[in-house]
Amino acid sequence: MDGSLFFRGMTKFFDFIKNVCTGSFIVGVFTANENPENSNKSIFARIANTILNGLPKFIYLPETWPSWLSDLARGSWFISSVSSRLNTPIPAPLRGSGGVMLWVFFALPIWVLAMVVFATPVLPTMVLAGMLLLVLVFVLFSRHFIIDNLAVFLLLFIIVNMIAGILSLTPQTSVQIALLTSVFVMSTMIIVACCNTRESVDLFFLLFIAGATIAGLIGVYQHLVGYTATAAWVDRDLHPELHNRLISTFGNPNVYGTYLLLAIPLTGACIIYTKRFLFKLLALGITGLLLLNLLLTYSRGCYLALALAVGIFILIMEKRFIVLMIPLLLAVPFLIPDTMWMRILSIFNTEDTSTAFRLFIWQGSLRVIGDFWMVGIGQGIEAYSRVYPYYGLAAIYSPHSHNLFFQVFIELGIVGILTFLGLLACFFRAMVTFIRNVTELKLKVVAVAMIAAVIGFLFQGIFDYVFYNYRVLLTFYVFLGLGIAFTKVHGIQKSVVNNKAPALVTGYDESDGEFDEE
C-alpha cells in the first residue's frame, strides 16, 4: 500500500495542508481537533456540539417490555434480526412493564433512515426529505452526533447554503432549495450518529445495494420493452444508430449513470467483503447488472469516470496490476458494441451538439463567476436563468453550468466552493487514514472502492452538474456517511482490541473476541 505512488501523493498533499493550517487562529475557530472528544479546541465545533448534543437525550432503549410483546417480537425472524443489526435490540420480557413507545421512538430514526437508503432510487424527492427531517428530529433527542472535521465543514456548508439562499437574486425558490439541500447534507452526520456498529453499517450497505439493484432491474426492463422516452438525449444526426438510452427511475441517462458511479464500486467491493460464497456470487451478478446499465446509458462522461475509478482502485491497492490493464484497454474497441465505441470517440468531436453545447456553457459560466465570485447568485434554476442569459454564448440556454464545481461556485461564491472542497478533503483524509492503519484486506478493499467511487463521481462532475437531480445529491451524502461510519466502527473495534476502547463500544470479551454493544 505504501508503495502506491497515488496513495503516497494523496497522503503528502493532506499532510501539507495540515501543516500549513496548524497554528492558524482562523482555522482553529472552525476546525475540530482530530479526536472528536477534544472538539473544545475549535470554537465552532464547541458551538455545534452544544446545539446538537446539548439537548436532553430523553429517548433511549428501555430495559424491559411486556412479556407478550417481547416474545412476539423475538419470535419474528425479521423483526429480531433487523432490530439486532440496527442496534435496537428487543428489550427483555417483564410482566406488566411499559417502554413500548420509548423503544419505538428510539428505533424510529434508524429504521426510517434504513428505508431512505434503500428507497432513494424510487421515492420522490420531497418524500425522502420529509422522512429525513423526521429522522433528524428524533436523532436530536436520542443519539449523539460526532463533531469531527468533516462534521464542521458539513455544518459550515449548510450555513453558507442558507445565507446564499437568503441573499439570492430569487430568494423565494433559493431558500427552499437551501433547506432541502441542508436536510440532505445532514444525512451524512445522521448516518454516522446512528450506524455505530459493524452490523448496522453492513445492513446499510446491503440496503444501498438492494436499492441500486431495483434501479438496475427497472433499467433492464426498459431496454427489453424498447422504452424510448430518452430520444431527446440523442444526437440523431451524429448517432443515427443510437435509438435509446437507459434512464431507469432517474429521468435522465447522465443522471442515472452518475448514480451508478457510486453503486458499482461498492457492489464490486462486496465481492471481496462478503464471507459466504453465495453472497459473493450475488454481488458479482449485481455488479454485472449495474455495469450493463451503465453501458446502456451511453453516458460518455460516466464511461471515463468509471475507468478512472478502476484506475484509482488499482493504483492504491496494487499498482503493478496497471500493466495488465494496458492490453485490456487496447482490446476495448473489439469488446464493446460499435454504438458504444462511436459514442466514446464522439467526445473529441466538436461537431457533436452535446460537446459543443458544454463548451459554450462553460465559457458563459466562467464569465458569471468572474462577476459573482464573492457571494454567488443563489441556488436553483430561477437564479441561474435570470443571470446566465447576460453571459451566455451562441444564444444557448441551459438550466445549469454542466459542471459541479462551476455551479457550486456560481451559486454559493468563493466561501461556498472552498467549504465544499474542505468537506471533500476531510472525507478523503479520513478514508486515507483508515487505509493506512487497517490491515484486513477486505476492509481495505471497501475503503479504497469508496474513495475510487467518489473520485469517479467528482470526475463526472466536471462534465455535468451531478447535483441537478436531488436524489443523486442525497445519494452522494448518504455515501459519504456510509464511508465515514464504516471507518469509525472498524476503527473503534481495532482500538478496542488494542485496549483503547472508546465509549461507543463496551464489554469487550477477550476470551471470544466479541463485542457487547450498548
Write out pLDDT tens, residues 102-158. Answer: 899 999 999 999 999 999 999 999 999 999 999 999 999 999 999 998 999 999 999
H/E run at residue 434: helix 404-437
Q: How far is CA 241 from CA 51, 125, 304, 371, in A?
A: 58, 34, 21, 43
| Domain presence at residue 262 | yes
The C-alpha cell that represents 163 in the structure block: 445565507
Number of structural domains the chain divides into: 2
| Domain presence at residue 68 | no
**372 shares a domain with 262:** yes
Q: How far is residue 365 CA from its own chain's centroid? A: 26
Q: How does residue 320 score in pLDDT terms, banded at 50, 70 and 90? A: low
Q: How does residue 325 score in pLDDT terms, banded at 50, 70 and 90? A: low
Per-residue pLDDT at 450: 97
Per-residue pLDDT at 503: 38
444: CB partners within 8 A, 6+ apart:
1, 317, 435, 438
Task: Indicate the pTM of the whole model.
Answer: 0.84
Per-residue pLDDT at 514: 37
**229 shares a domain with 364:** yes
Range of the domain at 396: 149-506
**345 shares a domain with 209:** yes
Final residue in a domain of this structure, among 32, 53, 74? 53
**154 shares a domain with 49:** no
Q: Is the per-residue pLDDT at 288 higher than 70?
A: yes
Per-residue pLDDT at 2: 53
Q: How does residue 398 score in pLDDT terms, banded at 50, 70 and 90? A: confident
| Domain presence at residue 368 | yes
Q: How does residue 100 score in pLDDT terms, banded at 50, 70 and 90? A: confident
**319 shares a domain with 441:** yes
Per-residue pLDDT at 75: 79
Q: Which residue would you say has higher pLDDT here, 239 or 471?
A: 471
The mean pLDDT of 203-230, rounded to a whole number, is: 89
CA separation for the pair 511, 431 (Å, rounded): 31
Q: How far is CA 65 from CA 59, 97, 106, 363, in A?
A: 15, 6, 14, 64
Residue 29 near residue 42, CB atoms below 8 Å: yes
Per-residue pLDDT at 289: 97
Rounded mean pLDDT of the chain? 83
Final residue in a domain of this structure, among 53, 76, 92? 53
Per-residue pLDDT at 188: 97
**155 shares a domain with 30:** no
User: What single-letter amino acid sits at 414?
Assistant: I
**46 shares a domain with 172:** no
Residue 413 near residue 376, CB atoms below 8 Å: yes
**165 shares a domain with 44:** no
| Domain presence at residue 103 | no
**Strand pairing of 92-93 and 514-516?**
unpaired
| Domain presence at residue 295 | yes
Q: Which residue would you say has higher pLDDT here, 328 or 239?
A: 328
Q: Which residue would you say has higher pLDDT here, 159 or 350?
A: 159
Final residue in a domain of this structure, among 34, 53, 72? 53
Q: Which residues of 381-413 are buried (b: 16+ CB within 10 A; e: fewer)?
A: ebbbeebbeebbeeebebebbbbbebbbbbbbb
**39 shares a domain with 174:** no
Q: How does residue 284 score in pLDDT terms, banded at 50, 70 and 90? A: very high
| Domain presence at residue 175 | yes
| Domain presence at residue 62 | no
**437 shares a domain with 321:** yes
| Domain presence at residue 69 | no
- Among 6-20, 63-77, 112-126, 324-338, the range scoring the smallest mean pLDDT is 324-338
